[in-house]
Structure 1
């Protein structure tokens, strides 16, 4: 009988590519991961891995087993959801991931609504960049998370994860000392999020679409700080609606752009029907401001 925990390790190896990366993602030692994968190979009775230097490639049998592992793990999530429905009332921890601007502008109201309807739940919020959400959900560090995507940076499918339809959609703005277009600021210094984030990729692609590569002066991941730097002439930036709430500082002019950021909730495949996940998603819809389409779930 194949062990589910070892199948999870194989699934993570397919995503991360190295035993060291799997060990870091799941808080194991590399030797423990290696040993468990060796046991899985013995259980399977066929080679699952091909080692090439520091990287490990999966054999065709290994890749096929990962496909089955995804299905098994999804069914286990469905079973967990059914068991949760059988209990009386929602209780226990619910680990929520969110990006910073939603943590400030949307999540507190969602948690208040969740507490009013399900006082036994214990929401636990962690700020995490959407680029890191998939690994955190698969590792069991989060149960549900807010993720966003931009017109120029669409969401990539993630095996083992599921997404809702957009909960809300925000317009994007150019923040500068005066109104203008992205193309008109090809010579300006730019303020961008750190490399590796979706916000960084969005700004870079927007500038490239306008025909230039931005000259980056500051790397800042907090939109309040970004607007403060724009206000004192340190550069220009692209900012979503939530990043401008409650209002930009004096000296900042926002020019609306034909670009949008969409926010969805993400969770492990099979967990859509889990009552705690569904309750948080419903509370999130109710907390969205009316100008962003709040109050009624979008389908």
Structure 2
């Protein structure tokens, strides 16, 4: 196998026309340059230089390797420039996965701010396929208990606490309240708005702290649909604040206490990606938003 560094030594010899001149340009001794050329000729299995007057000139094989060495030099220079841009956060790609209700209020404004500050960085943004961090993503938005730590090569960065609100049909006995005690909903039929996972866990834990288990009369696992079932009088529901961007005209939304259910939104970040300025910039934008 040809050694790339020795090919660059050959290029210096051919460019300068002599081993002595190449040695001076490279900061080597002439004997060190001669040894490098001898080893390269052994690797190539053919002579690369021939005597010409007081200097040397390349053979056909020498010219071939010199041309390739020049191309390699250009590619290495391009790679170094690209790497410097990546290290500085001027170029590259950040892969982000998020869940739908974090999109409008959190991801969209953060991404707009990030693109203004890092116009050369491409963002691969898609909906996450499940509640676990995407192994291929630099950043995945997830719901985890407050104070949770990462694992399996990821770090958790807390972004925001998203409180749940009680969604009641208009005309409900508690509709005129500004704040509803969670325990007052214990005997109501419930419309389930969450699929099994950390969001549902936050709701069930709050209900347990209030002394009851909700009686799920309707399961829908989607916030807008849950509001429709509530509006039809089929039960009450809890929906996180970020899931109430579009409100059904026949429901009322009230704060909850005793306790207030909260889901904590975190960014699960690949630890290897934390070294990239672009990833850190996106995290900063998410935290500021």
Tell me whether the two structures share a fold, i.e. TM-score over 0.5.
yes
Which of 156, 165, 168 is matched with 1:173 structurally? 165
Q: 1:62-120 CA deviation, whole Å, 9 max, x = no partner?
A: xxxxxxxxxxxxxxxxxxxxx67764543343211112111122211112112212122
Paired position in structure 1 for 2:140: 145
1:208 Cα deviation from its structure 2 partner: 2.3
Residue 118 of structure 1 corresponds to 118
| Distance in 1 (alpha carbons) for counterparts of 2:150 and 2:250 | 41
1:267 Cα offset (Å)? 1.0
Kindly tell me the number of residue pairs found equivalent between the two proteins: 197
Does the 8 Å CA contact 2:143/2:199 hold for their aligned counterparts?
no
SS across alignment from 2:275: coil
- Whether contact under 8 Å (1:193, 1:199) holds in the other structure is no
State which structure, 1 or 2, has the greater radius of gyration over its C-alpha atoms. 2
Q: Cα distance, 1:282 vs. partner? A: 1.8
Calculate the aligned-residue CA RMSD, in Å.
2.7
User: What are the superposed Cα offsets for residues 173-230 of structure 1, whole Å, 9 maximum, x if unpaired?
Assistant: 2222324332222222222245432122222222222222222133333323322332
Q: Please state how far the C-alpha of 1:163 moved relative to its aligned partner.
A: 1.3
Distance apart, 1:130 and its partner CA: 6.6
| Contact 2:131 2:143 (C-alpha < 8 Å) held by counterparts | no
Q: Which runs of 4+ in 1 moved over 6 A?
A: none
- Equivalent positions of 1:76-225 (< 5 A) are 87=87, 89-128=89-128, 131-133=131-133, 136-137=134-135, 140=136, 142-150=137-145, 155=148, 157-164=150-157, 166-177=158-169, 178=175, 179=177, 180-225=180-225
Q: Deviations over 1:248-287 (max 9, x none)?
A: 634223123334332221112243232121111122233x
Aligned counterparts of 1:84 and 1:245: Cα–Cα separation in 2 = 42
Shift in CA distance, 155/219, structure 1 to aligned 2, threshold 3 Å: farther
Distance change in 2, residues 1:196/1:253 (3 Å): closer
Give the direction of change, closer, same or farther, for the CA distance of 1:168–1:181 in structure 2 (3 Å limit). same
Gaps of 5+ in 1: 1-82, 289-299
User: Which runs of 5 or more residues in structure 2 are unaligned?
Assistant: 1-82, 170-174
Q: Measured at CA, do residues 84 and 225 of structure 1 come closer, stay the same or move farther in structure 2, by a change above 3 Å?
A: farther
**Aligned counterpart for 1:280 among listed residues 260, 282, 288:** 282
- Give SS of 1:167's match: strand
**Could you tell me the TM-score, scaled by structure 2's length?**
0.59
Return the alpha-carbon distance in structure 1 between the equivalents of residues 209 and 279 of structure 2.
38
Decide whether aligned partners of structure 1 residues 237 and 85 sit closer, same or farther in structure 2, where only a CA change above 3 A counts. farther
SS in 2 for 1:123: strand
Question: TM-score normalized by structure 1?
Answer: 0.57
Q: Give, in angstroms, the shift of residue 247 of structure 1.
A: 4.9
Deviation at 1:162, TM superposition (A): 0.4
Aligned-pair CA distance for 1:144: 0.4
Q: Measured at CA, do residues 155 and 233 of structure 1 come closer, stay the same or move farther in structure 2, by a change above 3 Å? A: farther
